[in-house]
């Protein structure tokens, strides 16, 4: 029986982790659940799974909840949330945002296997996280569909030799649109992703392609790849989840219908592959699987992310913070879609290079970039 501390249980990924645990109750047990404030769903989850620990990070929320089910220690605040990873076999970090980084670092410090969905962990703290994971000999398993695809094509060996890592992108809802056409797209248009159902932040990032830039930065750390070895290509139907090219010119692709339950389940069961409630793609019915170019300059957020990744040091962390603030403002309808990139660009131009390879410095970078972003958003309205 493998015990899982699930951080971000009420989110899109978290709910799919729960589905995998429901599918294999003899293999997996949720020893702890953590969410921020969605008390209704959280209460349903703790009633069903009866974790030893259940924590909502936002204070004051549990006051309005019914008494915890028998055997469940219910608490609030980040300190108790962090303790949840102390007592588990696998820490599944599926919280959103920069907040995810501290859970990943805590899991590594405790020597736990880390199933990593949270992107911001490696985008912001890649150098620190990979160094600590290596030092502690921690098994860091990618969950994002692209990184899972690469890891599968590398036979679950992240250090296997390769010539290129080829990330695929659906292109999002706005691929092929001009800058002029994008100026007036609405929040609703942006949240209508053609192939994936995800949380709001990552759905917006998939429309700006900031998400693909994040994945390039993550791939750089996960697979110790130079940026020159990482390529991206658009595959509009999201059947090919990514590919690895080898020295002899061969390319291995990982394919399935798009659902995150496959990479989530595999992160927990590998090298074993178990039924995941999914049909094998019907290739004859699918017809063409097309590949299209992703031009760096066509999506300013993607371009900014690649530049920040190449610059290194504090830039990716500042990029992420600016992105979180800008997307928040867009979702609150304070700025328009094309202003997301403008806010990020302006924050990065005000950011001075500095080393940021410990958690405290990263928090400082994150805070300062958010402050700048808030000022810029205020002036833009
Ligand atoms: P959601 O917004 O759907 O869910 C976020 C989850 O994190 C919720 O459970 C939320 O709780 C919780 N949360 C928010 N802040 C904190 C905090 N400070 N401490 C603990 N928990 C917190 O996001 P997604 O599930 O879509 O994404 C989660 C992460 O996985 C992101 O980093 C995303 O980039 C990455 N990812 C997601 C994919 C997807 O298909 N969705 C694919 C690949 C990567 P509450 O509900 O109470 O607010
Ligand atoms: Mg992805």
Output the CA 8–ligand 1 centroid distance in Å. 5
Output the CA 100–ligand 1 centroid distance in Å. 9
For residue range 72-86, what is the model confidence (pLDDT) as tens digits? 999 999 999 999 999
Could you tell me the pTM of the whole model?
0.98
Average pLDDT over residues 81-104: 98
Residue 381 is predicted with a pLDDT of 79
User: What strands lie across the sheet with 164-169, from one edge to the other?
Assistant: 230-234, 164-169, 240-245, 251-255
Output the CA 106–ligand 1 centroid distance in Å. 18
Residue 9 is predicted with a pLDDT of 98
Domain chopping of the chain, boundaries = 2-143, 149-259+285-380
Does the C-beta of 301 come closer than 6 Å to ligand 1? no
Same fold? 2-143, 149-259+285-380: no
Output the CA 5–ligand 2 centroid distance in Å. 22
Instruction: Give the ligand at the shortest distance from the Cα of 202.
Output: 1
Closest atom, ligand 1, to C-alpha of 214: 34
Does the C-beta of 13 come closer than 6 Å to ligand 1? yes
Does the C-beta of 119 come closer than 6 Å to ligand 1? yes
Residue 256 has which token pair? 């399935």
Output the CA 11–ligand 1 centroid distance in Å. 5
The SS3 assignment for 333 reads coil
Residue 196 is predicted with a pLDDT of 82
Q: How confident is the model at residue 64 (pLDDT cuts 50, 70, 90)?
A: confident
Strand partners, 84: none
| Contacts of 279 by beta carbon, 8 Å cutoff, 6+ apart | 257
Does the C-beta of 118 come closer than 6 Å to ligand 1? yes
CB 95 within 8 A of CB 11: yes
CB 12 within 8 A of CB 199: yes
Instruction: Give the ligand at the shortest distance from the Cα of 198.
Output: 1
Does the C-beta of 99 come closer than 6 Å to ligand 1? yes
Average pLDDT over residues 235-246: 98
Domain 2-143 indexed as CATH 3.40.1440.10: no
Q: How confident is the model at residue 194 (pLDDT cuts 50, 70, 90)?
A: confident
Burial of 49 (0-12, 13-18, 19+ CB in 10 A): buried
Does the C-beta of 149 come closer than 6 Å to ligand 1? no
Q: With 90 as the cut, is the pLDDT of residue 195 above it?
A: no
CB 42 within 8 A of CB 56: yes
Residues in the chain: 381
The CATH label, of 3.30.450.70, 1.10.1740.10, 2.160.20.10, 3.40.50.300, for the domain at 149-259+285-380 is: 1.10.1740.10
Residue nearest to atom 32 of ligand 1 (CA): 118
Output the CA 145–ligand 2 centroid distance in Å. 5
For residue range 312-328, what is the model confidence (pLDDT) as tens digits? 999 999 999 999 999 99
């Amino acid at each position: 029986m493998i015990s899982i501390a699930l951080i971000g249980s009420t989110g899109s990924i978290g709910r799919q982790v729960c589905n995998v645990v429901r599918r294999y109750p003899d293999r997996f047990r949720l020893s702890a659940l953590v969410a921020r404030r969605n008390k209704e769903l959280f209460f349903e989850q703790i009633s069903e799974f009866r974790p030893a620990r259940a924590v909502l990070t936002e204070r004051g929320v549990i006051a309005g909840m019914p008494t915890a089910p028998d055997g469940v220690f219910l608490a609030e605040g980040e300190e108790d949330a962090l303790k949840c990873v102390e007592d588990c076999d696998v820490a599944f970090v599926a919280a959103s945002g920069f907040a995810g980084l501290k859970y990943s670092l805590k899991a590594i410090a405790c020597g736990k296997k880390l199933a990593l969905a949270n992107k911001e962990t490696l985008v912001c703290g890649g150098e620190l996280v990979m160094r600590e994971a290596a030092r502690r000999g921690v098994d860091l398993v990618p969950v994002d569909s692209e990184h899972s695809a690469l890891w599968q094509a590398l036979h679950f060996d992240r250090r296997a030799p390769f010539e290129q890592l080829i990330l695929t992108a659906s292109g999002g809802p706005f691929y092929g649109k001009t800058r002029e056409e994008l100026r007036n797209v609405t929040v609703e248009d942006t949240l209508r992703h053609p192939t994936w159902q995800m949380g709001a932040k990552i759905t917006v990032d998939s429309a700006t392609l900031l998400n693909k830039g994040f994945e390039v930065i993550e791939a750089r750390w996960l697979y110790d790849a130079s940026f020159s070895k990482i390529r991206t290509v658009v595959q509009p139907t999201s059947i090919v989840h990514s590919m690895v090219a080898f020295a002899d010119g061969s390319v291995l692709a990982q394919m399935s219908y798009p659902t995150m339950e496959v990479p989530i389940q595999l992160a927990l069961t590998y090298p074993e592959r178990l039924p995941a409630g999914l049909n094998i793609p019907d290739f004859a019915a699918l017809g063409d699987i097309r590949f299209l170019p992703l031009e760096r300059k066509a999506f300013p957020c993607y371009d900014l992310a690649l530049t920040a990744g190449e610059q290194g040091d504090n830039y990716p962390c500042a990029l992420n913070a600016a992105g979180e603030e800008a997307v928040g403002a867009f979702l609150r309808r304070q700025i328009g879609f094309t202003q997301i990139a403008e806010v990020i660009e302006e924050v990065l131009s005000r950011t001075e290079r500095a080393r940021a390879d410990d958690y405290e410095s990263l928090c400082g970078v994150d805070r300062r970039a958010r402050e700048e972003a808030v000022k810029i958003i205020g002036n833009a309205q």
